[in-house]
Structure 1
Amino acid sequence: MLRKLYDWTISLAARKSAAAWLAVIAFLESSVFLIPADVLFVPMGIARPKKVWHYAIIATVMSVLGGILGWYIGHYAYEAVAKPVLHFYGKLDTFEAMRGSTSADMILLLLITSGLSHLPPMKVVTILSGAAGVNIWLFILSAIITRGARFFLLAWLLQRFGEPIRNFIEKRLGLIAATVAVILILLFMVVKYLHA
């Protein structure tokens, strides 16, 4: 099922309505959808390099708005909406453990790592932020910076290197971003430990 969903998402890049689909996917990815917007963004940017900055704006704005929806789901509709969504994706147990033991500082760090590298998935962190009562304005600012950084970096790479960078983005950029995310989390934990 996941492979079919992935292939369907990639197929949207060839449509005339690709920009509208990018907006929808970027919005839903931040609160309920499984496939990241990058899957659609990269082939669109390669096919239309002159529009890549426009796509980065669309993806950033809609991802932030989707994140705000995730925050509201976590804050106001945790039992009714968030639990079933998290259960569907098999993330409920992990989420419950994080919700009970994670500080607001750690949640903001997770928002940064998720925004940059999808580690952990964006939808989990947006819902967690709302459920844990992270300040909505701080949440929005963090989402704008991290999601913007990700999509604009992708736009720059696609415009600068074109099709040859695609393999790097699809295979290695996620690994590099995930490594940076893990390092950030470990540094945060070391600093917290030293100050305790």
Structure 2
Amino acid sequence: MRLFGKLYERALGWARHRHAERYLALLSFVEAFIFPVMPEVMLAPMMLARRERAFRYANISLLFSLLGSLVGYALGHYAFEALRPVLDSLHLLAPINTGVENLREKMSAHWLALLLVLALAALQPVVPMKFVTWASGIVGVPVIPFLVCMLVGRGKRVWLLAILIRLFGERAERMLHKHIEWIGWLAIVVLIGLGVWWYMAH
């Protein structure tokens, strides 16, 4: 199923637009809480076209990813609160509350391990950012440590891409294009593995 490949092609079209920086900011923002395409698919061709602006583009993407992560955090918190009556009517609220409370207890007891998982999840492409931002809001991860983890994880991604483009140029972009489908689905597997590892370890 070429889900990620088709969305990748669409994002490449945005990268060639005269308002590409605005589209990059928008993509980075919404990807943090809902959209399934990583900003790197726009960053790579934009950086190739203007290598001297590689880190400018990386920083734009990082800034709006952080803003988007706050939206995802808020959505996770307020959506969960708003849905409590519905979940209760479906007899789902009690087990969900139990799971959330267990996570909160583990977060309090093993907060360094949790922050490591958050930073690693933010480093993964495509899907994890949505899960991380929403789940953090539901569980109640403190906002400042949450943002630091997003900054470290996402910052490494965009800055690493900027370095690769500056050093290797088109070869780096061709590799991304060739393996986008594998990267997308591998990211999902990695996220699930991180979640299972953290849960089993604590």
Cα distance in 2 for residues equivalent to 1:80 and 1:39? 35
Cα distance in 2 for residues equivalent to 1:42 and 1:78? 36
Match of 2:142 in 1: 135
Match of 2:129 in 1: 122
Match of 2:7 in 1: 5
- The residue type paired with residue 157 of structure 2 is R
CA 1:189/1:130 → structure 2, altered by over 3 Å: closer, same or farther?
closer
Identical positions, percent: 31
* 2:19 is the alignment partner of 1:17: yes
Match of 2:119 in 1: 112
Higher relative contact order (CA 8 A, sep 6+): 2
CA 1:16/1:113 → structure 2, altered by over 3 Å: closer, same or farther?
same
Cα distance in 1 for residues equivalent to 2:52 and 2:143? 34
Match of 1:158 in 2: 165
Map 1:176-187 → 2, pairs under 5 A: 185=194
**Unaligned stretches of 5+ in structure 2?**
84-95
* RMSD of aligned residue pairs (Cα, Å): 3.4
CA 1:21/1:80 → structure 2, altered by over 3 Å: closer, same or farther?
farther
Match of 2:40 in 1: 38
Between 1:141-150 and 1:127-136, the stretch displaced more is: 141-150
Report SS of the residue matched to 1:77.
helix
Provide the aligned length of Structure 1 versus Structure 2.
Answer: 175
CA 1:21/1:108 → structure 2, altered by over 3 Å: closer, same or farther?
same
Cα distance in 2 for residues equivalent to 1:26 and 1:123? 12
Cα distance in 1 for residues equivalent to 2:56 and 2:130? 24
State the TM-score, normalized to the length of structure 1. 0.74
Greater radius of gyration (CA): 2
1:129 is displaced (CA, Å) by 0.3
Cα distance in 2 for residues equivalent to 1:189 and 1:8? 35
CA 1:140/1:129 → structure 2, altered by over 3 Å: closer, same or farther?
same
**Unaligned stretches of 5+ in structure 1?**
82-95
CA 1:156/1:164 → structure 2, altered by over 3 Å: closer, same or farther?
same
Q: Verify the 8 A CA contact 1:70 1:127 in the aligned structure 2.
A: yes
State the TM-score, normalized to the length of structure 2. 0.72
Q: Verify the 8 A CA contact 1:114 1:120 in the aligned structure 2.
A: no
Cα distance in 1 for residues equivalent to 2:126 and 2:16? 28
Cα distance in 1 for residues equivalent to 2:76 and 2:169? 39
Report SS of the residue matched to 2:170.
coil
CA 1:76/1:107 → structure 2, altered by over 3 Å: closer, same or farther?
farther
- The residue type paired with residue 138 of structure 1 is P
